Homo-oligomer: A and B are copies of this chain.
């Protein structure tokens, strides 16, 4: 698959609807890091890119689109569908939490909150697709999704990214797959997962996707039970290094992002930084490191406290 071509096409396709998110350099202790604030994307995460790319390159049926989501993907699909004039039906598990559920509802989608975890929501979304012919938007393991997410890294390079190594949080693997596809080995990619949502780590060890248990503070964003096959293929091809971090390390990274830069992000958005601040990933002397901040839909909604 020619990922560079797919991602270039995706970038041109979605350009009218996605934001160029800002970048900055910042020091955290002894570390000088390049950061990209992709949580400033529409609906608060990179997911808007894959959603727009998927909907814009397909013929969306009259029945509209359907998605199952821990929150961010659902909000992105609902947003893209509204902008593009399609009906959207989103199934979210209770685990998504009230802030993300409210965010999806605010996009104008038909929302179904499903008891249990992501797998139950996915089953209900599949039922709906079979019954109505609605188009399903996969959260991570589809070519159009991966190509859309890959535009983050393409954009960052146009902004002068100066790094040997890029740290990226991994759930189902759409974002890191897009980065790997775009970079094609030109920079090192480090895949960071919560120790309690380690689908890529487990798959790399097993040599194939395997089911994992998911839990912890980032689970509604990073808690895929099984890594996407597209991601695993790219991760194996480029021998990606996987790193695990604790929920404590993630919370400390959230705290550091607020205290140093007044950026309030959700646990998933701080997971890549957590690998550096906790020492789970230690750069070599002279290694220039970049961190992608990928999601900002923190709970509780901070507006509730103002």
- Shortest distance from the beta carbon of A72 to any chain B beta carbon, whole Å: 12
**Once the chains bind, are B20 and A40 in contact (CB under 8 Å)?**
no
Does A254 reach chain B (CB closer than 8 Å)? yes
B23 touches A22 (CB 8 A): yes
**Contacts A23-B22, A262-B264; A251 near B306 (Cβ below 8 A):** yes
The complex places the Cα of A279 from the Cα of B116 at a distance, in Å, of 45
Q: Does A21 contact B (CB under 8 A)?
A: yes
CA distance A296 to B305 in the complex (A): 15
Task: Say yes or no: is A26 at the interface (Cβ < 8 Å to chain B).
Answer: yes
CB closest residue in chain B, given A44: B262
- Asked whether A261 and B40 contact (CB < 8 A) given A24-B22, A26-B19, the answer is yes
Q: Which residues of B contact A302 (CB under 8 A)?
A: 258, 264, 298, 302, 305
Chain B min CB distance to A296 (Å): 3
Cβ contacts A269-306/B at 8 Å (1 or 0 each): 00000000000000000000000000011101011011
Partner of A258, one of B24, B26, B261, B303: B303
Number of this chain's copies in the assembly equals 2
The answer, yes or no, to whether A220 is at the interface (CB within 8 Å) is no
Is A215's CB within 8 Å of the partner chain B?
no
Chain B proximity mask over A18-52: 1 for CB below 8 Å, otherwise 0 = 01111111100000000001011000100000000
- Whether A300 contacts B296 by the Cβ 8 Å rule is no
Query: Which partner residue on chain B sits nearest A22 by CB separation?
Result: B22
A263 at interface (Cβ–Cβ under 8 A)?
yes
Which chain B residues border A265 with CB–CB below 8 Å? 262
Q: Does A255 contact B (CB under 8 A)?
A: yes
Contact with B along A241-255 (1 / 0, CB 8 A): 000000000010011
A168-226 at interface with B (beta carbon < 8 Å): none
Contact of A21 with B24 at beta-carbon distance under 8 Å, contacts A44-B262, A306-B254 already known: yes
Closest 9 CB pairs of A and B: A262-B296, A22-B22, A22-B24, A302-B302, A264-B264, A40-B261, A39-B262, A44-B262, A264-B302
Sample of 16 A–B contacts (CB below 8 Å): A19-B25, A21-B24, A22-B22, A22-B24, A24-B40, A39-B262, A40-B262, A44-B262, A106-B259, A254-B303, A254-B306, A255-B303, A262-B264, A264-B264, A300-B305, A302-B302
